[in-house]
Homo-oligomer: A and B are copies of this chain.
């Protein structure tokens, strides 16, 4: 991917949160991004490591996971194009979780030191990153409510709603039918369910006419009923959050 395209995407990311001045733009353009492509399921970072670069997703999906000592996995975030994947590592020395590519992934990477200097020089950009970090925290809280207090059907429906909305924001595509590149096992790991039960619930959502499936293509057939089943309210995504 062309470096000017990269700059433009990063700039759009910042501007979605905060108005950028001419000087800010120039500094963004000057950031030493390196584009890299990695295969699905490649580890980008492992728990305990200390990373030196920070990645911005240009294309593809990634996820954060945590593992139990005996190997059980919980997927705690899904990361989409237009998001920085390791803001943590801007200020924390040691990663507390793994980051892994969900699909083939195109990244723009920048040294953490450079990003830190950039933030200091450019407070508006720093605030934009603050907002992103706070929104991810908010998503964590909603997922806690989801896993802790909703039954399997609501949980899955909620995840599908969230994906729909976030895909729309991320790719500007039609969000009512989207490719969901996750296995049922991965869905289970994101929801605290077994793959067998994910299978049962997907089937039930389909026979009830809320969604349709073809391979991993998920289509929302009846958004109002899916939203109701999920108790979905997009407030926690802070979609319109922008400072001026």
Q: Mark A131-170, 1 if CB is under 8 A from B, else 0.
A: 1011111101111110111100000000000000000000
9 smallest beta-carbon distances between A and B, as pairs? A148-B192, A140-B140, A74-B145, A66-B145, A74-B148, A96-B236, A137-B137, A76-B141, A72-B149
Bound CA–CA A235/B92 (angstroms): 11
* C-alpha gap A88/B192 in the complex (Å): 27
Check B141 against A96 for contact (C-beta < 8 Å).
Answer: yes
CB–CB A149/B231 < 8 A: no
Instruction: Find chain B residues with CB under 8 A from A76 CB.
Output: 140-141, 144-145
Complex contact A96–B144 (CB within 8 A)? no
List, sorted by A's number, 21 A–B pairs whose CB atoms are closer than 8 Å: A68-B149, A68-B150, A68-B231, A73-B149, A74-B144, A76-B140, A88-B137, A91-B131, A91-B134, A92-B134, A92-B135, A92-B241, A94-B235, A96-B141, A126-B126, A130-B130, A136-B137, A137-B137, A137-B140, A143-B144, A148-B189
List, in ascending order, chain B residues with CB within 8 A of A127's CB: 91
Interface of A, secondary structure class, is helix
**Distance between Cα atoms of A68 and B228 in the complex (Å):** 12
A64 interface contact, C-beta 8 A: yes
CA distance A241 to B96 in the complex (A): 12
With A and B bound together, what is the CA distance between A191 and B66 in angstroms?
A: 18
**Residues on the B chain within 8 Å of A90, using CB:** 130, 134
Other than the given A133-B137, A137-B137, 18 more pairs (CB < 8 A) read: A69-B231, A74-B149, A76-B145, A90-B130, A90-B134, A91-B130, A91-B243, A94-B238, A96-B138, A96-B236, A97-B138, A130-B130, A130-B133, A133-B134, A137-B140, A140-B140, A147-B148, A148-B191
What's the minimum C-beta distance from A79 to chain B, rounded to whole angstroms? 13
Q: Check B150–A147 contact: CB distance below 8 A.
A: no
- Chain B residues, Cβ within 8 Å of A150: 68
Closest to A47 in B: B235
